[in-house]
A and B are shown apart, each in its own frame.
Chain A
Amino acid sequence: MSVFGPVVKIHPVVLASICDSYERRNEGASRVIGTLLGTIDKHSIEVTNCFSVPHNESEDEVAVDMEFAKNMYELHKRVSPTEVIIGWYATGFDITEHSVLIHEYYSREATNPIHLTADTALQSGKMNIRAYVSAQMGVPGKTVGVMFTPLSVKYIYYDTERIGVDLLQRTRMTPGRTKGLTSDLSQVAGSASRVQDMLTTVLAYIEDVLSGKVTADNSVGRFLMDLVNKVPTISAEDFENMLNSNINDLLMVTYLSNLTQAQIALNEKLVLL
């Protein structure tokens, strides 16, 4: 199934906000909707922010607080003037008829809005996140219908966001779903152990190939070649020198900062005499 249209790039902030607003929904509401903010490029749409909009939904009618939506958008615009309304989101598995109405409203706010669904009720066992764009369909001359065509979804991160998300990933492991922030050498140790895990996986694969269990893949072999060659070959002497000079720099800086701290502590005591 090929997908036409732009690629939708989502930041994890948006998904976390959607989950959070789903958790805080009013009693009796089965889903929440909200506005998506972001930037539009030639070939892609980047979703960077969102806010939820209160709405009431029943069997035959739907009411959306449009005033609220406009207000919130104005407030958000003050902080990040580059973000525009690019669509809306709804939690839940399917697209209902009410979605069409809401989509119509949003087409007034933005050109060709996208519609994002996130299955927070986990009806299919996974949280399916899909994006759609509406397209007209029907027989010309007669009543025109609306069809939602799916778009491909990608997740993108800023570098710092990636690091944040990595930290958040680790809350999955502990039972209380909590994680403290570590500091100092333990971080380096953690990072090194992660690289070590990756190396063990690679080694296991190599063992399998050598013993004939898995057929060798040329591209993987090339990557392995790159990996081994990445460790630079420097003569032992030169490396010793580089290492020692770096270590000396760092030790000197440590000594100086300790000295400064002692100095200000002394100054404190003298002044308060």
Chain B
Amino acid sequence: MYSPEDTEMASTAGTLDSPVKQIQIEGMVVLKIIKHYQEEGQGSEVVQGVLLGLVVEDRLEITNCFPFPQHTEDDADFDEVQYQMEMMRSLRHVNIDHLHVGWYQSTYYGSFVSRALLDSQFSYQHAIEESVVLIYDPIKTGQGSLSLKAYRLTPKLMEICKEKDFTPEGLKKANIGFEHMFEEVPIVIRNSHLINVLMWELEDKSTVADKHELLNLSSSNHLEKSLQLLMDRVDDMSQDIVKFNTYSRNLSKQQQQKHQYLQRRQQENAQRQSRGEPQLPEEDINKMFKPPQPPPRMDTLLIAGQVNNYCQNVKEFTSQNLGKLFMAEALQGHN
């Protein structure tokens, strides 16, 4: 089911003038990411790792990756930077590309638009212009099709993060909506000839997959969880909106008070002038009426982006399930 937003997102992805227009991943990297999540990510929230590769013309080729250990409390003296440096140095000895080109992260039902992700991606993109973040969705993959997406921050968002100006005025100037925060880069998987030979061998030797998860009809479990997360986010959003409304109400009330005070001052001064007394000194208005703090808009943007993501996922899921239901109907019809 294609909605107008889908086509709009697709068109913005096509017309971006970023340095990276396509991502090419080696099959081995995909397998490594899957394995990493499978082994280490069952209990905790996310697993992360580093992507290595190089940039060729307008393509970003990812040729290897290595995982990051989990952050555990009893490992406080663990130095991430040192681990990374050692890993890359060792990999260089075996002729593996040691250029850092991005990082990957697993997600739970599509909830990855968070402040932490934004900060990390910003620091990566600031240091290395072509870096991307790969989001791997293990639950969607478990349902039958590999779910791997690559995102970068749009140049507009980069500007804003650089200035750290998250007030409403700043965001209005840059004209950023939640759709323009991340841009998705299309992914292509490429295998060398030798790996292709390996694939033939594997197909020969291993049994046919007996689990066709993609054609599974049960949907309520997944839908429930997705909707639960969506509802939580919408609640957060509504709280945020309430905050913003109170702020703007306070602001307008304050404007009114200032106005009234000024008027009264002028009237008094006019009266005193007519009576010949000295005028009252002009007091600093700003000190009397402290303007209320404008709430930071960045969280709202993030929540809106997250809600958007959930909705997209839910829509994709429902469209697939509708197709499956119609197929099941056809099957019953012949019985």
- Chain A residues engaging chain B, CB cutoff 8 angstroms: 11-13, 15-17, 19-26, 48-49, 51-54, 65, 68, 71-72, 75, 78-80, 82, 120, 122, 126-127, 129, 155, 157-169, 171-172, 176-185, 187-189, 191-192, 194-195, 231, 233-234, 236, 239, 243, 246-247, 249-251, 253-254, 257-258, 260-261, 264-265, 267-268, 271-272
Segment of B154-162, B171-179, B269-277 engaged in the interface with chain A? B171-179
Of B32-40, B111-119, B256-264, B282-290, which binds chain A? B32-40
Given contacts A180-B186, A184-B320, A254-B315, contact A164 B234 (CB under 8 A): no
**Complex Cα spacing A164 to B195, Å:** 14
User: Do residues B39 and A80 form an inter-chain contact, with CB atoms below 8 A?
Assistant: yes
Q: How far is the CA of A22 from the CA of B96 in the complex (A)?
A: 11
B142 at the interface (CB under 8 A from A): yes
Given A164-B146, A182-B145, A187-B145, CB of A261 within 8 Å of CB of B311:
yes
Would A250 and B321 count as touching, CB distance under 8 A? yes
Count of B interface residues, CB-CB < 8 Å = 104
Q: Which residues of the partner chain A approach B86 to less than 8 Å between Cβ atoms?
A: 71, 75
- A68 contact from B93, B241, B307, B322, Cβ within 8 A: B93
Let me know if B205 and A162 touch, CB within 8 A. no
Please state if B318 and A164 are interface contacts (CB–CB under 8 Å).
Answer: no
B30 contacts which of A158, A164, A169 (Cβ < 8 Å)? A164
Complex contact B94–A24 (CB within 8 A): yes
Beyond A20-B195, A22-B194, A246-B321, 6 additional contacts (C-beta under 8 Å) are A16-B195, A185-B320, A239-B329, A239-B332, A253-B223, A272-B177
A-binding residues in B (CB < 8 A): 1, 3, 5, 24, 26-28, 30-32, 34-40, 63-64, 66-69, 78, 83, 86-87, 90, 93-96, 138, 141-142, 144-146, 148, 168, 171-172, 175, 177-178, 186-203, 205-206, 209, 211-215, 219-220, 223, 227, 230, 234, 237, 241, 244, 297, 300, 304, 307-308, 310-311, 314-316, 318-325, 327-329, 331-332, 335
Residue of A nearest to B314 (CB): A257
Partner pick for A127 among B198, B310, B322, B323, CB 8 A cutoff: B198
Cα A25 to Cα B96 with chains together (Å)? 9
Contact, CB under 8 Å: A26 / B34: no
Given contacts A23-B192, A254-B318, A271-B244, contact A122 B197 (CB under 8 A): yes
A82 — nearest CB in chain B belongs to which residue? B39
- Which chain A residues lie closer than 8 Å to B199 at the CB level? 165, 168-169, 171-172
> Which residues of the partner chain B approach A257 to less than 8 Å between Cβ atoms?
230, 310-311, 314-315
- Determine the chain A residues whose CB is within 8 A of the CB of B141 once the complex forms: 160, 163-164
Contact present for A52 and B83 (CB under 8 Å): no
